[in-house]
Structure formats: C-alpha cells, structure tokens
C-alpha cells in the first residue's frame, strides 16, 4: 500500500527546512521591528509621526502574535495606543481592556489616525481570539462590527493608496489589513459557534454560522462553518439536514475529514450500513492522501487560521480517529455485513500497515487499536469466513508460536471487586496472562474450525482438545469460595474475560463433539456436545448436533426435546457485538432446521401440530 | 565478507580517480596537526617537521608477551581535546575506524593501510555518526543538524594522490548543502532498517525523532520527560542501540524479547530501540506496530554508559541471552529470562566504578574505569534449556563482583570487540591521550573459559569456595554491626520520642509545669573591661528520662522592643549548648551574655528550647532518606523575661550620688558626650542631669497584704516568724528587687541592706542613676457619697533617663499585676469606686488623647512642629499619664 504523508502535528521532512527558514526570518523581522520601534518611541510622541509609529507597532505586534507571544504583543499594543497624542489628552486610562479600547476609539474620533488605531484594535481582537477570550469579544461586539464595516469598505485603503501615490514614505504593513479583518471576522464566527455548540445552544450557534458561511474567506474556514452548522443540526436531531451541511463542507474543501467522519457517525446511528462503509472507505482514503498544503491567500501566511482557532471545544469537534483505526472499523464492518472478501482485504491492509515502520497516520491520542493478537484473530476469523483456511491457520500459528511460551501455568480469575485488595501490578500481570491464554485458546479454536472446514476430523479433534486443555486451566474465584472451574451461570457481564472463556469453551467442545460425530464416535460426541451446552447454553450448533447424535443413538424423544429447546433459546445479547472469532462457525457441517422439523413431524405429528 | 566488499569498494575508488584526474591539492587543514605540535614546535619549524609527522607513524609496543597479559598496540595518535564532549569510536566501512576525540573532526583510520584516510570536519562538535547498511553514506550529527556524507566523496578524498608516496588524508568539510535535516542538538543517532532515529534534549524532555532514511521525511517524534532537571555541566551522551527479535542486528532470545517488549512487538517482529539516558533510565521503543509507545525498562539511577546484549546461548543461532547495562558509578544490570520463561529477571550488581565506557562480547563485559581496563565474566547459558527443577547457572550479584584486570589504563572509548584469526579477542580503544589502540587479549583465558584446565579445576573451585566463604563472613560481620547500630539508633529515637511527648503534652490545655524546664539568674559582671549582664540558665531535668547525647539547649534572647537593627530585623541573639547527657534530677548550667552596659533594650524575652538533631543520630543514613532535610526536632521549653528590675544595679545609699567604681574614664567621656549632645539638641532638656523624669504606681496596701507572693517574702524576711504587718512599702520594694519573676532571679552583690530600705538608689544598664521610692500614701476616695481614705503604696521611679523610667515603670507594673493575680479571690470584694478619681482621670485622659492626636496630626502633615517638638509634647503626655496613676486595688 502506498502510504503518503497524511500529516498530524508533524511536518514532513521536505518542508521542515522551509518552515525553519520562515521561522528564523520571522524572528529576525520581529527583532528588527522592535529595534525600530525603540528608536521611534525614544522621543516624545509627535503628531506628525504617529501614523508611522502606529504602523511599526502594527508590524511588530503581528510578528509577536505570529510567534504566539500574546502577552508581549498585548502590552505593546496598549503602550503604543497610550502614546497617541489624542489619547494623552483624555487623561488616565481604564485598565479594563474593552473600556480602554472604547475610549481609544472615541478619542481618535474621525481623525486620520482612526484607521491606525482600528488596525491595532484588530490585532487585539486577534489576540483575544487566539487566547479564546470570546467573552471580551462579545462585549466589544458593536465596536468590532463598526471597525469591520469601516475598514472593509475600503475607504481608507483608497485614501492611503492615493496618498502613497503622492509620497512614497507611507509605511507598509506586513500583512494585508483587509485580509486580516476578514480572517478575524470568520474565525470569530467559527470559534463562537463551536463554543455555543459545546454549551448546547445549537440553534443560536447555527444562526451565526450560517451567516458566516457567505463571508469571503479561505476555503478551509468556509468548510468549517458548514461543518459546524452540520454538527448543530445533528444536535438538533435533524440528521438529513446535517448530512447536507457536511456534504457542503466537503464540496467546499475536500480535505475536511471531520465532516466525513461525522457523516459516517450519523449513518452508523441510523443503521445505514452500506453508506457507513462507503463513508469509512472515503475517510480512510482521504486520510491516506498527502495533505495538500493549503495555498494561503497572499499576505496571510503570517497569521495562519490555526493560530486563531485554538479553542478546546473546536479542536474536539474537529478531531478524527487515526487512519489505522478507521481502517480497522472499515474491515470489521465489511466482514460483519456480508462483504467478507472486501473486509479480508482491509484486514490484510491493516496488518501490513502495522508491520511497516512507516508511522504515518499514527498519533498518540484518540481511541487506540486493539492489541495485535486480537487483530490477528479477527483477521483469521475473517479469512476463514472467506474460505481461506490455510491463511487463517498461518495467522493462528503465528499467535500460538509467539505466545505459547509465555502462558502462565495456572490462572485464577477473580471478581473485579476482589482484585482491589491486591496490588495493581500483580493484577495487571494476571490479567495479561489471562488475555494471552484466551488468545492462544481462540487461535486453537480457529485452527480447529479450519480443520473442520477441510473435513480433517482427526486434526480438528486434536486442535480442539488443545484448546480445551488450555481453557480448563483457568479457575474462577468467587468471594469467599475456593477457586473452581467456572460454569455458565457465573457469567455476569458480556465482554468480560470470563464470558469469553465460557464462549471459547462452549465452541471448542461443540467443535470436538461434531468432529467425533463425523467419525462415528457418537458417545464421545454426545459427551462433548452436552458439556458444550452446559458451558454455553445459547450455542445453536451444539444444541442441534446434540439432538442429532441422540437421534442417531435412537433416543428420539430426547432429541426432539433438545432441538425444541435450542430453537426456543433466545440469546440475551446480539452476536454481532462479539468479537469475530467468538462467533459460531458458518463453515462446518450444518444441520438443516426444516429437515429436522420434518423428522419431528414424522415422529409425533401431534406434538408439532 | 566485509573485506570483499571493501576490496571492491577500493578498486572502484581507484578507477574513479583515474577517470577524474582531479589535480591533487590537499585541502586538509593543518589545524588538527598544529594543535598537537604547538607546545613543542614553533611555527616556522612546522613546515619542516610537519610533513613526516603527518604520516602518523604507528609504533607497536607490546606491553607484555607474558601469559595472561594484554598486548597493546598503538596505531595512531590524535591528540586529546579536553572538551566537554565524550569521545567515541566506531568501526565502519568494513574495518575502518571512525573516531572523534570530542572536537569538530571525525577521523577515518584504515588499519589495513595503517594510515588516516579521511577527516570529516563539522561546523561544530560532532556528537555521533552512523553508517548506512549499504555503506554508501554516513549520517553525521553535528550541533545544528544531521549531515549526509556520501562515502564515495570520502573515498575520493582518501586516495587523492595514488602516485604520491606519502599517502595523506583529505579533509571533508561538512557544507550546508550536505545537510540532511536541521535539528538542534542531536546527541545520538541510530539507523534501524529504513528508519533513522535521532535523540536530542530540549529544555524539559528528551526527544526521540524518527525519520525515513530514504527521503528523510520526519515520521514521528516521541517525548520523554526529564526525570531530573538537567545539569549544565558535562553533557553526557545518551546511548541508542537496537535489538531484533529474529533477523539482522543484535538478536535477542525470543522469550526474553517477548517478556521485555510485549507480545505486540514480538508478533510484529519489530526491531526495538533501546535508549540509555544520562538520568539512568533504560527506555525502549518498538518500531512496530505503528504507534507503539515508549516504555521504561529499568532505571540504573546513574548515567548509563553502556547498553548491549550478550551471553550467547547457542552459537548456532547467535541469539543473545541477556541484556547488559552499565551505569557510570559501576552499577551493572543483567536482564535475562528466569524460571523457564515466566518472567524477566533483573540482576543488579556493582563493579568498582567509575565506568567510562564499555563493550561486550559473547562471554564478557569489558569496561574501562580510566585507570584500568577490566573484564567481567558474564555467566554462560546452558546449551539447552532445562526444566524449572534444574538449577541453571544463574547470574547472581556476587558473580558481578569479581572483574579481572587487563592492565590497560586510560581508555576512554571502546569499539565492538572482534575476534582475530587466532581466536584472540581484539578491542579497539581510544585513550585519554588521543591514542587509537588495539588491545589484544590473551587467548588462553578466552578460549578455555574461566576454569582453565580440568587438573586445576578442583583446586580452583576450592579456592573460589573459600573466598566466597570469606566474602560471606565479611558481609555477615558488616550486617551484624549494622543491625547493632540500627538498634542503638532505634533505642535513642524512642527516648527522644518519649521526651517529645512529655514536652508536647503541656502545650495544649492549661499551663502546666513542665518536667523539664529552665530557670535563670541575671547578674552583672565585668567582662573584657566592660560591664555586661550575664544570664545564667539552669536546665532542670525532673523528668524520668535521660537527655542523651544529641540534645542541644537552645536559648534565644530577643528584646521585646528595641531599636530596629541595621537589616530591619529585630536583633535577637541565639545561643546553643550541646550537652552530653542529663540524667533525671540533674541540672545543666549555662551562662550567656545578655547585654552589655549601654545597650538598654529591656525587657528581653529569653525562649529556651531543646533541639535534637536527627542528622547527628542517623549520620550517613539521614542522607539516604529523602524527606529528612531539616532533620531536627525542636521542643520549646519555657520563656523567661528579663526586665529592667532584673537589670537594675542597686547601689548603696552612700554611693548613690557619687560615681561608683565602674564609672571609669570612658564612662566620664560618655557622660560628657551625652551632656554635649543634649546641650546641642536644645529645648527643655538643656537642664541635663537636673531634668528628672518620674513615674509612679499606686497599689492599695490591703490588696498587697493579701498577695501570697509578698507574704512569703515577708515571712522569709522575718526569718519565718510571722509578725504583725510591717511596712508594706518596704516589703514590696524588697520583693520587687529580689524575687524571681518569670523564672529569672536577679543576683545583686553587695549588702542586702541596701534593698531593705524604702528608697533604693541604683543605676540602669546605661549607667543613669535611678531612684526607686516606696511610700505609703493615703488616697481619698468618694464612695457612695462618703469620703473614705485608702491606704496605698506608691512606688515612684525617678531618673534622668526617660528609658529607665519607662522600663522600670513597666517592670514594676507587670510584677505588681503578677503578684495580685496570684492573690486568692477575696470572698466579697469591697466595692469601692474611685468615683472622683476616675472622673478626674477620665478628664485627664481625654485631654491627653487630644494632645496626642494633635501631635500625631502635625507629625503626619509634617508642618508646624519639628520632630523634636512633637517628641517633647508626647513625652510630656507620657509623663503626665504616669505622674498621677490610678490606684491599683
């Protein structure tokens, strides 16, 4: 599989250099602007030079913000604004930032300095945004809106360009100021939307986000607005509209994987398996794509939108599981929903990916993949379903050879509460031992199934026996009792290792029983099948075959009772939630239920009537 | 194999050169050479000497050909750098030796040709270097990044002038073009398959970064927080090495691999990167499955200087049976599987350190302490794995204690050991002087293993047993002594605890007399031509416990009020008196100077406490216990107060006016100066000696008579005979001057008759004459409309010194209060109101308050009055307050 760079908090080696160079240049620029500023501020403020000074302040501050030095930038901003002559006339300053800026805007009034101060306010806005002070932005909303309107109308720009034509000594800002304003506007909408959404005020958030989606902005940000609108709608229980929004987000920016992921979740929630699989496949291939470095509009590279969008709620909304865990879900879904061949391919891809040293698409956070033996077993079960017993056996062999020598001699399972008395380390060690034993047991079981599939009954019996011998080593300790061999009634919760143990035991006994039956060792077969029913009452195969053996032995009444009981048994949890390798094999010798019913009818028509 | 490759490699090189036909200039700078020769050869001479010297004559000197000794052969000399960087040494390109002495240059030395073939010059100190598996390129870690150097480039430098008789080395400067990637401060490099790993230290963590070696794309980085804050001293290099489960590189026994690194890594057949950090941690990172986390295997708690795998179990498959890690201070840990594969055993031992470097071969660990090279025999695994019942020849810490010396000193770096054709083990070492040495180990001990021959085996094993027994005996004796001292310490700690409980019990609840306490006497004495008040403290142990060695009596004397010291802190003096032991009923007397004459900062609070130093008791063990930094137990005893009355020097009436013997010339000068200062100060105090301040205390005679304290004194004075109430004033005066208050007694020399007098003259600590008068006065009272007279005792203090008046007044008042408090509550206290007196007093107080406020305001505003005036007015207020006191009843 070709794995190209999907980047997660890591930059590729290729552009590390350029990034480094950019960074050095930024630092250099910053220090130069500061030197210049120190020179300018060394003299008392002169009205004629204020515009120049404020532009230098703007540049220096922007450099600081780009280096995430927000505190320094903020203090520089206030200091510089306090130096403006019109401000000094108005006397002492308010320490509260919103009030300070309100006064500042008022005091410069409608003079030529107004845009300069407004640009500084924009930088302050950026700092608030980057430090997630949305409350402050809310307080100053009216002012910011008017700033936005004034500056984006472009009146000042024209004036300036006119004056620039006349004299060449008008200082240049390092970033296009109109772009800055637009960026701030949309980022504010996005951050506010995410905040409100996480607070549960979905409809409120939706209004803001939808108005934001028509703003001029980079594609990525527009797609975020669509994505967040979709999330709001999903919260408001309108999955179809949410899907529409997600689609729009994807249409705007094809790299918006979070939209894809959320759509997948909606499909899963509504049981649309085919669509879910489709979404998972798309998600995986998108994650594996090399992320195209977004061509940022000219003049905004200093202030990437990621710097302004750092809120916790937004990043949790945007987070997506790793490519490998997506691939795992995809494989599992396919196998569970009758697309076994496809699922097997995905499983093999996953194993191959895990075996490469290329660590793309891996990050520490997020749901981690199951342990490797578990994945091997799932893949093995899938291979068996796809009728590739040889491959399945190879995988199981791998597990067995690796794990066998580490198996503990004796295992005592304990109730979870009982574990607390002991040290955690000891408990973890026992737990590890139990898991290894269960993995090896499952591997033997799968191998047994493979032999059954190949109708190699002798081998099947041997392998199942190995599995059984392993499993009976496990004792279960109840509070206040001696360790004993666990029985079916002790199984409390599904998914616990006790439950898995019982299932493995039931399945392997049933497998051996059937194998014995096939070689006409009916007594042994009956014994095993009955034991299997004891261990796992809901086992269908065991029940039916037990009846069959009884029938062959001439105990027809008992056989009928056994069949009836098996049919009437309803499992108390869905089989799908179990691991693949714990499900009953579909490949072994099967008994046809209708044929059995015919036999029953023949025997006693009155009973079945 | 290596040779074949190398041979073809060289022939290829030759061909390339002939084709190129590049003119042979020698870019090798002579800096490296100059550095070596500068001490002995002047610059002008260098031209002549330099040329032959460049050839790096190698000279062989076999230390000893005798059996059991090593042959050391010096190949070349590179000069020592003396920098902070660790020198290192590696074998690459087949048999070439790559080495760095800690400077900017890496030397490539070819033992086959016996010469230096290339020099790689970095822009900064070269910290590490790895060779790609196909020997096509080198990765060189330098200060600012990792450089990729094609070996072809190196080769062409090496053989620039094939025709030249004197083969010379060429220097290859690492240029920015050859920068593979920029990463600040890479300390170690490792190449595993297609992954290049770098390890560097940032402020608070170690960062292990993985790069794909084909296109140098960064794959992942793993952060390891620093265990201890980094020290700025010598930068130690962390170690990176790799173990494999099956193929390639150093292979580890599968069972041990699984036990250490988990089933996932084993299933994925993943190479595992081992990382020995300078903080002692031994970390591991499986490269597969993708996304594995870094784990900590062990911690040596000292900088790791070597990590390797050894103990080959079966030569056929070449699997290493154990991992070895060595710490700088000589701690060695062997990690192997135990109990038939149940768990991994970590066997720790200690060899005499410090360990500078190490390497390992199949059977032995070689390490250098700088003064010697030692070989430690690692236990060999049995060829086939036995059942758990059979005792395997397991490693024990004792086995790690007997390294054998190889008698080679000053080795700072070692390369992987090799085996020559004759079966001898050869080590390559870099000495402190910068010499590249080949150390050939004697073959006999190598081949035959430790038990040399069957004939000597018996004797040898007996000898081993005997020495082992000796070891055990020695250790037992040490342990016994240890236990004994621990018991002793426990016993003493118990005693300390008892005493602590005893003393701590009194602190809560009501004030109880503590069984261990201090009392004191104050007396004037002459020390070094200066009068000083000496306090003699007596520690009284009336508890049932012995105060043993280790206790210290600590006395802190601090004035209640006084002029602030220069540092702005209160001037308090601390004295501590360690003592040996104090048995029940015994007392300990210590003397301490409380104040010299002239320093009148009374009253002084003297707090006594007992301090027990745990550090003294535990000794070195305290250093081991981490939470015991302030290892002291401090138990407060009681607090004593030394006031003006204690410090008053009573003179007999005759001497009252005349200067006493103590007022010598210096006193006279002082007096003169004082007078002078006063006269300059101006104001009302010009009168100087004539100006007298006075204050008085009035106590009702009746209440005084009831006070048991006074009664006792009276009884004493009368020699036990109870007499009709005599002059109350007289007895009060006597009591004031002689009785112990607050645990302090004043010792007054001279006749006591001076005290038995209603007028007492004396001098305050500064030498001002003071007069104390006790007289009986009648105070008229209006009670319920009736005029009543009360008999009262008035104690009047008069002196020219304000401080003395204030101090004495305070002291007298405190004592009278104390005396009256001890009086039993009278059944029906006579209800007398000092009606008129009270009213008058109230008026007066209000007026005075006004006056104080006024002066305060003016003081605060800072206008109107000078500070002198303000002081004056406050003084007058004070005096008026004291002049007409209320009657104490």
Q: What is the pLDDT of residues A135-154, one digit of tens each?
A: 888 888 887 888 777 776 66
> What does residue B660 show for φ and ψ, rounded to 5 degrees?
-80, -175
Dihedral angle sign, alpha carbons of residues A343, A345, A351, A357: negative
| Chain A environment of B181 (Cβ under 8 Å) | 13, 16-17
Give percent of chain A above pLDDT 90: 24
β partners of residue B576: B554
**Terminal-residue alpha carbon distance, chain A:** 59
CB contact under 8 A, A13 and B267: no
The per-residue pLDDT for A261 is 92
Residue of A nearest to B270 (CA): A355
Which residue, among A8, A326, A356, A372, would best test binding to B if mutated, counting the most B CBs under 10 Å from its CB?
A: A372
B46 pLDDT exceeds 50?
Answer: no
Span A281-309, average pLDDT = 72
Specify whether the CB–CB gap between B351 and B377 falls below 8 A.
no
CB contact under 8 A, A322 and B181: no
The per-residue pLDDT for A316 is 86
A488 pLDDT exceeds 70?
Answer: no
What DSSP designation does B252 have? B
The per-residue pLDDT for A443 is 94
Of the listed ranges A66-80, B385-399, B809-823, the least confidently predicted one is: B385-399
Give percent of chain B above pLDDT 90: 2
Query: Which has the closest alpha carbon to B37: B22, B27, B47, B28?
Result: B47
CB contact under 8 A, B195 and A357: yes
Distance from CA of A363 to the nearest CA of B (A): 7
Residue of A nearest to B291 (CA): A362
For residues B657 and A332, which has the higher predicted lDDT (pLDDT)?
A332
The per-residue pLDDT for B39 is 31
Q: Which of A14, A368, A373 sits opposite B267 (nearest CB)?
A: A373
Q: Which of A324, A360, A436 sits opposite B263 (nearest CB)?
A: A436
Cα(A162)–Cα(A180) distance, rounded to whole angstroms?
21
B172 pLDDT exceeds 90?
Answer: no
Is A357 an interface residue toward B (CB < 8 Å)?
yes
Residue B512: pLDDT band (50, 70, 90) is low
Span A329-339, average pLDDT = 90
Which residue, among B267, B293, B388, would best test binding to A if mutated, counting the most A CBs under 10 Å from its CB?
A: B267
Specify whether the CB–CB gap between B274 and B240 falls below 8 A.
yes
CB contact under 8 A, B259 and A17: no
Query: Which has the closest alpha carbon to B372: B359, B354, B350?
Result: B354
Which value, in Å, is the radius of gyration of the alpha carbons in chain A? 35
| Chain B environment of A5 (Cβ under 8 Å) | 217
Cα(B774)–Cα(B793) distance, rounded to whole angstroms?
7
Burial of A259 (0-12, 13-18, 19+ CB in 10 A): buried
Span B864-872, average pLDDT = 61
User: What letters, b where the CB count within 10 A reaches 16 and e where it falls short, cover A419-452?
Assistant: beeeeeeebeebbebbbbbbbbbbbbbbbbbbbb
A434 pLDDT exceeds 80?
Answer: yes
User: A–B: how many Cβ contacts below 8 A?
Assistant: 98
CB contact under 8 A, A406 and B219: no
- Give A14's contacts (C-beta < 8 A, 6+ positions apart): B215, B217
Q: Is B499 helix (H, G, I), strand (E, B) or coil?
A: helix
Mean model confidence pLDDT for chain A: 80
The per-residue pLDDT for B687 is 39
A110 pLDDT exceeds 60?
Answer: yes
B344 pLDDT exceeds 70?
Answer: yes
Of the listed ranges A43-47, B82-86, B667-671, B734-738, the least confidently predicted one is: B667-671
A343 pLDDT exceeds 90?
Answer: yes
Span A97-126, average pLDDT = 80
Question: What separation in angstroms does the CA of B712 have from each of B698, B708, B721, B752?
Answer: 21, 6, 11, 18
B792 pLDDT exceeds 50?
Answer: yes
Span B225-232, average pLDDT = 66
Dihedral angle sign, alpha carbons of residues B707, B708, B709, B712: positive
For residues B356 and B760, which has the higher predicted lDDT (pLDDT)?
B356
Query: Which has the closest alpha carbon to A506: A484, A521, A476, A486?
Result: A486
What DSSP designation does B862 have? T
Q: Does an H or E element contain B709, and which?
A: helix B708-717
B680 pLDDT exceeds 60?
Answer: no
Distance from CA of A509 to the nearest CA of B (A): 27
Of the listed ranges A353-357, B47-51, B506-510, the least confidently predicted one is: B47-51
Distance from CA of A66 to the nearest CA of B (A): 21
Residue A464: pLDDT band (50, 70, 90) is very high
Span A193-214, average pLDDT = 87
Residue position matching structure tokens 């990765």: B139
User: What letters, b where the CB count within 10 A reaches 16 and e where it falls short, cover A581-608?
Assistant: bbebbeebeeeeeeebeebbeeeeeeee
The per-residue pLDDT for A12 is 35
Angle between helix A50-66 and A13-41 (nearest 10)? 150
β partners of residue B309: B323
B40 pLDDT exceeds 80?
Answer: no
Span A527-553, average pLDDT = 89
**Terminal-residue alpha carbon distance, chain B:** 115
The per-residue pLDDT for B275 is 92
Number of H helices, E strands in chain A: 30, 2
> Averaging pLDDT over each range in B137-141, B397-401, B856-860, which range is the top one?
B137-141
Question: What separation in angstroms does the CA of B588 have from each of A77, A419, B503, B523?
Answer: 71, 59, 18, 18
| Chain A environment of B195 (Cβ under 8 Å) | 357
Distance from CA of B235 to the nearest CA of A (A): 26
Of the listed ranges A65-69, A253-257, A397-401, B779-783, the least confidently predicted one is: B779-783
């Amino acid at each position: 599989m070709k794995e190209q760079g999907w980047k997660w908090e890591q930059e590729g080696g290729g552009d590390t250099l350029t990034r480094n160079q950019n960074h050095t240049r930024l630092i250099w620029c910053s220090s130069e602007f500061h030197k210049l500023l120190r020179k300018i501020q060394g003299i008392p403020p002169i009205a004629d030079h204020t515009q120049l000074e404020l532009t230098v302040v703007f540049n220096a501050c922007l450099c600081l913000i780009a280096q995430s030095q927000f505190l320094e930038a903020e203090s520089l901003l206030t200091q510089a604004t306090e130096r403006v002559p019109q401000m000094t006339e108005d006397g002492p300053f308010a320490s509260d930032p919103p009030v300070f800026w309100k006064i500042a805007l008022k005091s410069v009034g409608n003079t030529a300095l107004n845009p300069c101060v407004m640009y500084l306010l924009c930088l302050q806005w950026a700092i608030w945004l980057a430090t997630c002070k949305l409350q402050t932005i809310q307080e100053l909303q009216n002012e910011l809106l008017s700033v936005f309107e004034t500056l984006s109308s472009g009146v000042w720009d024209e004036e300036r360009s006119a004056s620039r034509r006349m004299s060449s000594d008008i200082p240049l800002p390092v970033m296009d100021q109109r772009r800055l304003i637009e960026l701030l506007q949309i980022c504010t909408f996005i951050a506010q939307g995410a905040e409100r959404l996480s607070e549960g005020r979905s409809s409120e958030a939706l209004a803001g986000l939808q108005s934001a989606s028509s703003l001029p902005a980079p594609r990525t940000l527009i797609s975020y607005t669509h994505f967040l609108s979709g999330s709001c709608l999903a919260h408001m229980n309108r999955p179809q509209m949410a899907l529409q929004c997600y689609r729009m987000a994807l249409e705007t920016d094809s790299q918006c994987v979070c939209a894809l992921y959320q759509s997948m979740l909606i499909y899963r929630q509504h049981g649309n398996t085919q669509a879910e699989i489709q979404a998972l496949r798309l998600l995986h291939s998108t994650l594996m794509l090399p992320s195209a470095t977004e061509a940022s509009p000219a003049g905004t590279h200093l202030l990437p939108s990621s710097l302004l969008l750092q809120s916790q709620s937004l990043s949790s909304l945007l987070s997506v599981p790793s490519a490998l865990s997506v691939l795992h879900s995809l494989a599992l879904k396919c196998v569970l929903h009758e697309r076994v061949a496809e699922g097997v391919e995905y499983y093999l891809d996953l194993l191959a990916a895990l075996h490469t040293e290329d660590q793309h698409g891996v990050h520490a956070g997020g749901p981690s993949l199951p342990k490797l033996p578990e994945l091997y077993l799932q893949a093995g079960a899938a291979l068996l379903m796809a009728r590739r017993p040889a491959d399945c056996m190879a995988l199981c062999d791998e597990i067995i050879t690796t794990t066998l020598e580490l198996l503990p001699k004796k295992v005592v399972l304990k109730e979870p509460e009982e574990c607390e008395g002991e040290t955690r380390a000891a408990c973890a060690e026992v737990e590890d031992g139990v898991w290894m034993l269960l993995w090896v047991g499952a591997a033997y079981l799968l191998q047994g199934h493979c032999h059954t599939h190949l109708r190699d009954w002798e081998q099947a019996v041997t392998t199942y026996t190995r599995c059984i011998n392993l499993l009976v080593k496990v004792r279960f300790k109840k509070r206040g009792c001696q360790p004993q061999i666990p029985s079916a009634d002790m199984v409390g919760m599904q998914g616990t290792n006790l439950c898995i143990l019982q299932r493995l035991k039931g399945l392997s006994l049933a497998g051996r029983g059937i194998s014995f039956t096939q070689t006409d060792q009916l007594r042994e077969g009956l014994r095993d099948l009955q034991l299997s029913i004891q261990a796992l009452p809901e086992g269908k195969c065991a029940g039916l075959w037990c009846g069959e053996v009884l029938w062959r032995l001439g105990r027809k009444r008992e056989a009928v009772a056994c069949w009836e009981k098996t049919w009437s048994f309803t499992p108390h949890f869905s089989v799908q939630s179990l691991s693949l390798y714990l499900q009953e094999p579909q490949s072994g010798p099967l008994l046809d239920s209708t044929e059995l019913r015919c036999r029953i009818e023949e025997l006693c028509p009155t009973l079945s009537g | 194999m290596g040779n074949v490759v190398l041979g073809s490699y060289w022939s290829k090189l030759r061909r390339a050169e002939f084709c190129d036909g590049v003119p042979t200039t020698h870019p090798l700078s002579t800096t490296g050479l100059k550095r070596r020769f500068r001490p002995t050869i002047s610059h002008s001479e260098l031209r002549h000497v330099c040329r032959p010297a460049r050839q790096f004559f190698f000279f062989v000197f076999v230390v000893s050909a005798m059996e059991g000794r090593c042959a050391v052969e010096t190949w070349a000399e590179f000069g020592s750098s003396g920098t902070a960087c660790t020198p290192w040494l590696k074998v690459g390109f087949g048999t070439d030796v790559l080495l760095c002495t800690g400077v900017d240059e890496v030397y490539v030395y070819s033992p086959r040709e016996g010469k230096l073939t290339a020099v790689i010059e970095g822009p900064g100190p070269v910290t590490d270097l790895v060779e790609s598996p196909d020997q096509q390129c080198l990765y060189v870690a330098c200060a600012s990044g990792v450089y990729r150097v094609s070996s072809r480039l190196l080769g062409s430098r090496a053989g620039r002038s094939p025709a030249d008789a004197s083969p010379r080395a060429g220097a290859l400067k690492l240029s920015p073009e050859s920068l593979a990637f920029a990463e600040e401060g890479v300390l170690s490099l490792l190449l595993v398959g297609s992954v290049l790993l770098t390890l560097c230290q940032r402020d608070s963590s170690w960062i292990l970064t993985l790069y794909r070696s084909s296109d140098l794309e960064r794959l992942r980085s793993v952060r390891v927080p620093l265990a201890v804050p980094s020290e700025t001293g010598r930068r130690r290099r962390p170690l990176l090495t790799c173990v494999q489960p099956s193929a390639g590189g150093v292979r580890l026994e599968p069972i041990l691999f699984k036990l250490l690194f988990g089933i996932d890594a084993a299933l994925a057949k993943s190479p595992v990167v081992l990382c020995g950090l300078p903080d002692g941690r031994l970390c591991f990172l499986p490269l597969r499955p993708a996304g594995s986390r870094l784990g900590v295997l062990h911690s040596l708690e000292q900088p790791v200087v070597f990590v390797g795998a050894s103990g080959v179990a079966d030569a056929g498959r070449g699997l290493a049976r154990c991992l070895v890690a060595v710490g700088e201070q000589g701690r060695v840990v062997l990690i192997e599987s135990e109990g038939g594969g149940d768990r991994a055993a970590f066997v720790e031992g200690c060899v005499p350190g410090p360990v500078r470097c190490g390497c390992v071969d199949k059977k032995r660990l070689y390490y250098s302490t700088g003064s010697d090279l030692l070989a430690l025999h690692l236990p060999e695994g049995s060829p086939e794995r036995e059942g758990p019942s059979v005792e395997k020849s397991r490693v024990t810490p004792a086995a790690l204690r007997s390294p054998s010396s190889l008698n080679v000193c000053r080795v700072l770096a070692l390369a992987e050991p090799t085996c020559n054709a004759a079966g001898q083990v050869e080590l390559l070492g870099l000495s402190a002087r910068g010499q590249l040495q080949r150390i050939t180990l004697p073959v006999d001990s190598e081949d035959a293993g430790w038990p040399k021959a069957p004939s000597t085996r018996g004797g040898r094993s007996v000898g081993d047993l005997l020495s082992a027994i000796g070891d055990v005996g020695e250790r037992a004796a040490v342990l016994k002594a240890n236990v004994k001292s621990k018991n002793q310490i426990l016993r003493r700690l118990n005693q300390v605890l008892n005493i602590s409980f005893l003393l701590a019990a009194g602190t809560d609840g009501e004030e109880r007399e503590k069984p261990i306490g201090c009392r004191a006497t104050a007396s004037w004495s002459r020390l070094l031509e200066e009068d000083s008040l000496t306090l003699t403290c007596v520690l009284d142990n009336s508890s049932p416990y012995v105060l043993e060695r280790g206790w210290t009596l600590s006395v802190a004397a601090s004035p209640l009020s006084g002029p602030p010291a220069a540092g702005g802190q209160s001037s308090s003096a601390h004295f501590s008196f360690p003592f040996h032991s104090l048995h029940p009923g015994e007392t300990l007397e210590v003397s301490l100077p409380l104040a010299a004459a002239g320093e009148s900062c009374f009253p002084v609070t003297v707090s006594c406490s007992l301090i027990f130093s745990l550090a003294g008791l535990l000794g070195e063990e305290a250093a081991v216990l981490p939470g015991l930094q302030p290892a002291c137990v401090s138990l407060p005893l009681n607090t004593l107060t030394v006031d003006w009355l204690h410090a008053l020097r009573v003179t007999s009436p005759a001497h009252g006016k005349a200067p006493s013997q103590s007022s010598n010339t210096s006193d006279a000068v002082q007096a003169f100066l004082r007078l002078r200062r006063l006269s300059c100060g101006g104001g009302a105090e010009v009168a100087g000696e004539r100006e007298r301040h006075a204050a008085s205390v009035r106590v009702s005679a009746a209440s005084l008579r009831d006070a048991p304290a006074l009664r006792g004194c009276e009884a004493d004075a009368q020699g036990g005979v109870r007499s009709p109430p005599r002059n109350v004033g007289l007895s009060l005066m006597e009591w004031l001057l002689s009785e112990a208050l607050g645990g302090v007694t004043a010792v007054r020399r001279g006749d006591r008759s001076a005290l038995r007098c209603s007028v007492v003259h004396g001098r305050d600590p500064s030498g001002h004459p003071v007069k104390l008068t006790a007289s009986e006065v009648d105070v008229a009272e209006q009670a319920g409309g009736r005029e009543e007279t009360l008999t009262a005792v008035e104690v009047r203090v008069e002196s020219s010194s304000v401080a003395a008046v204030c101090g004495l007044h305070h002291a007298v008042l405190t004592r009278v209060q104390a005396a009256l408090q001890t009086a039993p509550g009278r059944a029906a206290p006579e209800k007398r109101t000092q009606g008129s007196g009270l009213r008058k007093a109230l008026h007066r107080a209000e007026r005075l308050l006004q006056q104080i406020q006024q002066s305060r305001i003016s003081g605060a505003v800072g206008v109107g009055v000078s500070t002198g005036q303000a002081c004056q007015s406050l003084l007058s207020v004070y005096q008026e307050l004291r002049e007409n006191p209320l009657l104490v009843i």
